[in-house]
Amino acid sequence: MSILNQPVNTLSGRATTLADIPAKVMLVVNVASKCGLTPQYTGLEQLHENYANRGFSVVGFPCNQFGAQEPGSPEEIATFCSTTYGVTFPLMEKIEVNGDGRHAIYDELTAVADAEGTSGDIRWNFEKFVIADGGSTIIRFSPMVAPDDANLVATIEKLLDA
């Protein structure tokens, strides 16, 4: 099954898939509200706004596996993201990205290595995956890569122009 067709729920509990998001290119990110990297929400929202009209979407997957930095309920997460960072991109249900309970989407994502050759378990909150070409192109970026990083932006633009 394509990564885009794996079932998942939105943060509000509605069943969906990544294929249901009207985007040619998406940036999937495991997010958290109480992390040192949480300010990346600002850059993620900016990316989403800058490229949405070209067929791009950021997709956030809240995760509480790293230092219990996403303890909130779905309602608390939604309120935090919208009021603190003005997030308008889709947020999915809180999931596990590592271990026995890892969501099937992350089973596929963690098989991909980043530019440094790191694959396997997600290292921390805000690890990024650019997905394009119906799920056949997946490019991984470290959590420390900021949303406005030149390589990340160039990758998104190249795939949008393809």
Domain-wise residue ranges, the chain:
3-161
The whole-chain average pLDDT of the chain stands at 96
Return the amino acid letter for 108: E
Catalytic residue, candidates 26, 27, 29, 35: 35
Q: What is the pLDDT of residue 1?
A: 62
Task: Give residue-wise pLDDT tens across range 44-90.
Answer: 999 999 999 999 999 999 999 999 999 999 999 999 999 999 999 99
Distance of CA 82 to the CA centre of its chain: 16
| 35 annotated active-site | yes
Whether pTM exceeds 0.95: yes
Nearest residue to 17 (alpha-carbon basis) of 27, 6, 28: 6
Is 126's pLDDT higher than 80? yes
Q: What percent of the chain has pLDDT over 70?
A: 99
CA dist 14 and 17 (Å) reads 10
Q: Which class is 3-161 in CATH? A: alpha beta
